[in-house]
Structure 1
Amino acid sequence: METGVCDWAMKQPIEREYHDREWGRVNKSDRYLFEFLTLEGAQAGLSWYTILKRRDAYRLAFEEYDLSKLANFDEDHVEKIISTYDVIKHRGKISSVFNNARATQALIIEYGSLADALWQFVDHKPVINHWPSMDDIPTSTDASKKMSRFLKKRGFKFVGETTCYAFMQAVGMVNDHLVSCHCHQQVIEEQE
């Protein structure tokens, strides 16, 4: 095994690129956050590689994550997406994107931004972990459980505690790069 990178990113080049350029890096763009709520929800029960290789198709299918467009879509649009785009053909997961867009719009009205609503679970600053091995990294935390309950209460779908933790890792709410990974320190320095 190559040292200096997290084990999960070693299977495919697209995973390695995503790991090195995006994963764990702070992002507070509402569009980006909504994209990752969508992708992490789609990933439930599947490998991250399965989703990552379809990322461009997801962007096309879901209007580049334009909330105002997605909030107006209904069940009829599910069939169009299934027949047109290379996305996971799970009707519930596809339909949830439209539902979650409407729920996100309500959160934005309440909190001012999706970022403010979600980053509150880490006190608006990243949690820096120091994991020596992949076996040490949890699949959920108290914060991800609270986020999941918060989102479900507001009508979101496919936002379980494990999905929420994967989301938190992806958007930089937590730095779960292994301490031996070359990105661990980079991510910390980017935040200073």
Structure 2
Amino acid sequence: MPDPTTRDRMVTTAMQLFRREGYPATSWRRLIEAAGTPWGSAYHHFPGGKEELGVAAIELGSQIVQKTVRRAFEKHERTEDAIRWWFGKAAQSLAEDDYRGGCPLATITLEMAHASDKLTEAARQAFASWHELLVKNLQSHEDPEDLAIAIMNNLEGALLLSRIHRSPDALNRAAEHVVAIIQR
């Protein structure tokens, strides 16, 4: 695999910092230092400034989640097993990040929905794409639209609770709650 480009490193680093520390708290200086990129690269790659970088970070986070969802449903025939695997991967990732991470969109969305139309629209599109992907994979179930919302709501809430309790328990329980909904 080739070395990531300067732009790629900046976007990946931004996604991680925005998720862990928040969008307003992440300065250009902090981002450049953490990414290990030259100072001039910030405005070269993101002439629209931090907001443009934020949109790119949201898009990357969305791609990562979509890849995980696709993998969950490709690896497992039963929806219940796909959900358990996906929520388990989320718990594993959160623990590996010392409970500082979580959803790659949650922090930036919560912080900036009132302040940036561009970031809000990027987040709206990201969540809509997750919903659409879930609906596509849930066609064999009654009311796949509603089930997709239930899955997303359970995952997002459980990520938050697991993060603040520094435990995978909420994610494990949420997975079983979703499985119970599926098996009704």
User: Under a length normalisation based on structure 2, what TM-score does the superposition of the two structures give?
Assistant: 0.26
Higher relative contact order (CA 8 A, sep 6+): 1
Structure with the bigger percentage of helix: 2
